[in-house]
Every structure is written in C-alpha cells, then in structure tokens.
Chain A
C-alpha cells in the first residue's frame, strides 16, 4: 500500500501540475496513524452489537439509542478541535489529544459494565474523533503542495479506509481464536491504537500554522469562516448534505429487497470501503487537475445513480454491487475533496477552523436528512423515499455546481 502509493505518480503520465512529485511524508505518516486508529476503532465497533446484546444483554432498542449518541456528540467538538488547533498554532497536539482520548476509551471498555458506563466510554471515543479530525486535516493541508491537495487527501483517506476495512476482520479472527473473549478484542484494539498514537507523537512533525505570540481571536476566525470566500462552498456542502441519505438506510433498503444483501449485510459496508479505497487517490488527482468543486459535484451525481439503483423494485447481486460501487465513488469524490477545497479558501492560520466548519455543516445537514428520511420511510416505504430524495438531489446538484463555479479562483494566497 505504502510503496505503491509513493510510486504511482511516476508510472502514469497525466501531465500537468503536481505529477511526478511525491505525496509528503507527513501525509503518509498521518495516513498510517489513521490506518492504525481505524483498525483499532472498527475492531471494537464491529463487535459492539454482538457484545452489547450477547454479553451485556442490551436489547436492540437500547442499542439503537446508543447509536444515536454517535451522531450528536462529535459535531460541536469538531469545531472546538479546529479552532483549538488554529489558536495554539500547533494542530498536532490537539490531534494527539483526540487520538489519545479514543485510545484510552478502548481500555476503559474492560472494566465498563452496564449501559451507563458503556455509553460514557463510547461518547469519549466519539469526542476524541471529533476533536482530532479538523486539526489532522489542517496538518495534511499544511504539509501538501497546493496543486496536489486532492491527491494528498486521497492518499490519506485510502489508508484510513484500508484500516477501517481491516478492523472487523482482525476482530472476528481474534474471536475465532479465543471464543467469547471480547476483552481480548479490547486489549488488542488498545495496543493498535497506542501504536498509532506513538507514530503520531514521534514522527509527525509539529507543523506550525501560526507565528508564536500572535494568538488567533475568535472574531478573526468568525470573519474568515463566515466570509465571502467560504460562504458559497459552505452553502453548497450544506445543501448537498441535506439531500444525502445515510448509508445505513441504503443498506437497509438493499436488505429489504433481496436475500443476497441480507445474508451478506455486514459485508455491504466492506464493499463500499473497497470501492472507496481504490478510488480515493485517482479521484483526488482528478480533483487537482479538473477542479475540486467539479469533482465534488460529480460525486453527488454518483450518489444520485446510487439512489435510483437502490430504488429499483427488485435486486440481485450485480445491482447490489453497482450500488456499493456508486457509494464508493461518492465517498472518494467528496470525503477528502471537501477539505482539499476548503483548505485553499482560508488563510493558513484559520485552516483548521475552516475545515471544521465545512465538516460540521455536512454532519449537521446529514443528521437532519437522516431524521427526514427516516420519517419518509415510515410514511411511504423505502422506494418512494429514495426516489423523492433522488429528485431533490437532481435539483440540488446543478444549484451546488453554480455555487461552486469559479470558487477556486478565489484561492487564498496565504
């Protein structure tokens, strides 16, 4: 993985800017940190339903409530993390705090028993995730050539997703070796997280985004984040987020429709990850070349195709795979491309806050759309709800394209 990513720019001749140069070692190191952290967190996340119902004895209903916590907690912590990284001018140490909190939460699952304790531990994990995301993305932006930001984020997200796909496999292999020993999964998960944290602390350079002494005031950040340059991208991201259906719903719709998807339900998410991880780098490069705004909008075109395919009355293997592929394209074209786009529209000093603002807008908009979609599903079933959202998305895409047109001409020079 590591090597092939490094060598890739040499082996194809797309010409143009940025080609032939390597992705910064800082980006690769952050990718390795994310890979290890995601192996660790997905190990726990994948066995959590089993653990909660089989060992702790929570009913599916209580588990659903636990899941709701995931959504809400991270949005505001994310903003705080972005700002804290900018204010101190040392995003690395805010990221360390975030990764450290999540790592500690794994080992805290060992003594945790009962609903309240497990809720607290999982909340801590999510707090850590919220805290670290924006400062880490600010570091990636700081370490990258402006002309290859898309590729850098693509490399990082590919490594990150690889870890996320690996985690469940490690967890289930472990449970096959020591049946029923969930504690073993927690301990191994903790060890992997500590390793990731060590790579971060020891090797990721403490890139400074602000000069010492010049403390960044909230007012300055608010002026930049709410300013002219960021206004239209934030509006576009929010608008698109509002018509985005959560993958959970898509998987449920597939599962409702055919037995193949139901039998391999846990693997649907792995299928999406594989598509995402394969496409993250190529689409990131495409974004560098043809414009990040364009690729972001085009990714939502793939999402539209995904809704339409999922809304077809009957399924089957190839249709299910097509939906997963479209979903992977959507993630590859948006998840890393959005911070790549935003990081060039704000000054280096407020980059973390800018990225955090964009990600928070997306998270909140998607949360709203989830509530709406859940309601629609219960009123008229999955098919019509998907078709309605497809219609809304078809309207939103051209509007977003218009909002994002020429936006990259305004790139900050800082």
Chain B
C-alpha cells in the first residue's frame, strides 16, 4: 500500500472510532437527560421542623430530577407519603435525634470525598477524615461516636493488597479515636496480622463496645470490639456489615453462604443463643441494614431495570417470617430516628 492509501485508511479508522465513540457517549448522555426530564416529580412534604418531634426516617432520595442525591425526611407514620428535603446531598447518610453524618463525593476528573457531621438543622459542625469512595457510616445511639468506612482504591497495576477499606472512629466534637484496622484482631484465640486484613461496617453498642466486619484471606467474621482496649474479637464467621438491634440482643447482617461472589443473603444472629436465622428476602442485598424497630429491618435495593440509577428502601421481618415490602420508593441509606 502506498503512503497515501495507508493515511486514508488511518483517517477512516480514526473517523469511525471518533464518531462511533462520541455517538455512543452522546446517546447515553441524551438518554440520561431525557429520563431525568421525563421523571415525574416526587411529592414533597411540609417543613422540616415539625418532623423532628415525631419518629421519622432520614434517607438519601434517589428520585430522578434536580433533587437527586438530596437527603430527605418522612414521618414513620407515612413513610411512602410526601418527603421533605433537607439542604444537604450525601452518598450515604445516618442520623440520630440531634446529629447526622454525611459522606459525599464531588465527582470530577479528580473525585474528592468528604465526611461531615451535621447538627439538627443540617448545618456542618465538623469535618471527619475520609480517604476514598464512601461505603458505610454509623453514629452511636447518643450520637457521640461516629464511624466512617471508605474504600481506598489504588493504582491499576498488578500488585497484591491494592484494594482495602479504611474505617475510622471519631468522637463527635473531639478527636479521632482510631483507625480500627490498626486494632488487634483475634480469631479463635489467635492474633491475625495478615496484610489483607480489612475491617468495615461498624455498629455501636455503647460508648466503648462495637460490632463490625473483619476480613482476611477470603473469609469474613462478625467481630466485637472495644475502643478502649483497641482490640476486636471474632464471634461468628461469614458476616458482613452487621447492624445491632435497638434492644442490643441481635445483629442483622449480609452473608455470602454458598452464593457466587457479589451476592449476599440477609440474616440475623442472636448474640445470646448464637442462633442464625435467614430472612425471607431472597434478592441479593449489598447494604448495612437498619432496624425499623426490634422486629423489622430496612435495607436499600437498586431498582431492577439497569438503565435507572434509582433504588428503593425495603422492609422485612427480622425473624425469617413474612415477605419483604416496599417501604420508601426512590430512597437509599435509611436511618430511623425516634
């Protein structure tokens, strides 16, 4: 082939590549915009202030439109009804009566992440350390302790240990208590020091005790930890993202069992009897569940149709009976405030 022919062929390939790729991206963008425009606006409720006095649910609203990603509030008496939007946007949110924690991501060429404590009026009061993709967050019942988990993802090259979590516990209005990955992990009486050790998904029991997930060597455990002793001890295997019931007797979590990677089943573990109960939700749940009350757990599920970036919050009885029911449509990251 002469140089001219080869240049012509290259030009054609380049044109096809640019037009094809740009066309594809443009079509996706166009679809996203039109889906957003066509979305029926979600019903919005009244003022925030009156909601504070009654039991309510705080969540991330995933209804398409201008308020996508904003934190919203509904009364527990009418969770499916109109929602009231707060002024903040979060990827994950958790709240108690007088405090909230918000993990957010500012997307761009260089995505930056932040974690903030907010007061009852949703004003930021404290910045927390957060060093990667937001994953989980929890406050202790009185709001004095906060735990944040992020994925620290690394470069692309083939090196072991490049994907890990960071879970930091901080005292509200005070100092960082510690990165719990640095705590001593004890499994069956032995201290685990493997480099692939990861801890995530904290749920607080009191001002010192907490439960979390520990993982190493492809296994996971429910661990009970002490902030004062800086130690976590494995209680039960195959447990991820535990959540302690309001009465403190049980832990709800997701488990792998014999499911393929990336699929989990919800279960409840009784801390006193050691009995594990599978819940009636059979769809795969990748969330740290929240207790609606002592008998019911809540969790987020992505909407089944792949084109949508939306998700819903579901409820299922905590004793393995009954059926899952839709609690709040277009919602994610629920937190029950009483």
Known interface pairs A178-B29, A183-B28; 20 further A-B residue pairs with C-beta atoms within 8 A, sorted by A's residue number = A45-B156, A50-B153, A57-B286, A59-B240, A60-B165, A61-B220, A62-B262, A63-B163, A64-B161, A176-B107, A179-B107, A188-B24, A191-B21, A198-B10, A202-B9, A249-B160, A251-B155, A252-B164, A262-B152, A269-B157
A108 CB to nearest chain B CB (Å) = 16
Tell me whether A187 and B24 are in contact (CB under 8 A). Answer: yes
B101-132 contacts to A (CB < 8 Å): 107-111, 129, 131-132
Q: Which of A13-21, A231-239, A291-299, A371-379 contacts B (4 or more CB under 8 A)?
A: A371-379
B159 touching A246, Cβ below 8 Å: yes
Q: Closest 7 interchain pairs by CB?
A: A248-B159, A269-B155, A45-B156, A70-B158, A191-B21, A62-B261, A191-B17
B194 touches A252 (CB 8 A): no
Bound complex: CA A386 to CA B162 (Å): 17
* A-contacting residues, B193-238, CB 8 Å: 193-196, 198, 215, 218, 220
Q: Which of B163, B195, B215 sits near A374, CB closer than 8 Å? A: B195
B21/A187 in contact, CB under 8 A: yes
The interface stretch among A166-174, A213-221, A393-401, A404-412 is A166-174
Contact of A266 among B155, B164, B309 (CB under 8 A): B155
Residue in B1, B21, B161 whose CB lies within 8 Å of A252: B161
Q: Which of B131, B198, B263 has a CB less than 8 Å from the CB of A259?
A: B131
B238-263, CB < 8 A from A: 240, 256, 260-263
Closest-by-CB residue of B relative to A57 is: B262
Q: Is B183 close to A, CB under 8 A? A: no
Contact B9 A265 (CB under 8 A): no
* Chain B 125-141 per-residue mask, 1 if CB under 8 angstroms from chain A, else 0: 00001011100000000
Kindly state the separation between the CA atoms of A4 and B261 in the bound complex, as whole angstroms.
Answer: 49
Which residues from B are CB-within-8-Å of A49?
151, 153-154, 163
Interface string of B166-190 (1 = CB under 8 A from A): 1000000000000000000000000
Give B193's nearest chain A residue, CB to CB.
A378
- Indicate if the CB atoms of B131 and A263 lie closer than 8 Å: yes
Q: What class of interface size applies to chain B in its complex with A?
A: 35 or more
Chain A residues lying within 8 Å of B10, measured Cβ to Cβ, are 198-199, 202-203
Q: Count of A-B contacts with CB under 8 A?
A: 173
Cα distance A168–B25 in the bound complex, in angstroms: 17
**Interface: A160 (CB within 8 A):** no
Jot down 15 A-B pairs with beta carbons below 8 A, ordered by A: A49-B153, A50-B153, A56-B262, A57-B262, A115-B261, A176-B108, A198-B14, A202-B1, A248-B155, A249-B160, A252-B162, A262-B131, A269-B154, A269-B157, A378-B195
Give the residues in chain A near B284, CB-CB below 8 Å: 57
Interface class of chain B by DSSP: loop
Contact A188 B25 (CB under 8 A): yes
Question: CB distance B13 to A198 under 8 Å?
Answer: yes
Nearest-CB residue, chain A, relative to B155: A269
Complex-state Cα separation, A181 to B108, whole angstroms: 14
Question: Is the CB of A211 closer than 8 A to any CB of chain B?
Answer: no
> Which residue, of B111, B133, B163, has the highest number of chain A Cβ atoms within 10 A?
B163
Residues of B within 8 A of A (CB): 1, 6, 9-10, 13-14, 17-18, 20-21, 24-25, 28-29, 32, 107-111, 129, 131-133, 151-166, 193-196, 198, 215, 218, 220, 240, 256, 260-263, 284, 286, 309
A169 with B109: CB separation less than 8 A? yes
Q: Which residues of A contact B131 (CB under 8 A)?
A: 259, 262-263, 265
| A111 CB-CB contact with B under 8 Å | no
Q: Interface residues, chain A, CB within 8 Å of chain B?
A: 42, 45-46, 48-50, 53-54, 56-65, 67-68, 70-71, 114-115, 168-169, 172-181, 183-184, 187-188, 190-192, 194-195, 198-199, 202-203, 246-249, 251-252, 255, 259, 262-263, 265-269, 370, 374, 377-379, 381
Contact B32 A179 (CB under 8 A): yes
Q: How far does the alpha carbon of A315 sit from the alpha carbon of B108 in the complex, in Å?
A: 28
Q: State the Cβ distance, B179 to closest chain A Cβ, in Å.
A: 9
Q: Tell me whether A114 and B154 are in contact (CB under 8 A).
A: no
Closest to A370 in B: B160
* A195 in contact with B32 (CB, 8 Å): no
* Residue of A71, A177, A199 touching B158 (CB-CB under 8 A): A71
A266 touches B154 (CB 8 A): yes
Residue of B nearest to A272 (CB): B155
Residues of A within 8 A of B159 (CB): 67, 246-249, 370
Docked pose: A328 CA to B28 CA in angstroms: 38
The listed residue (B151, B194, B195, B256) touching A60 by CB distance below 8 A is B151
On chain A, the residues within 8 Å of B158 by CB distance are 67, 70-71
Inter-subunit contact B161/A195 (CB<8 Å): no
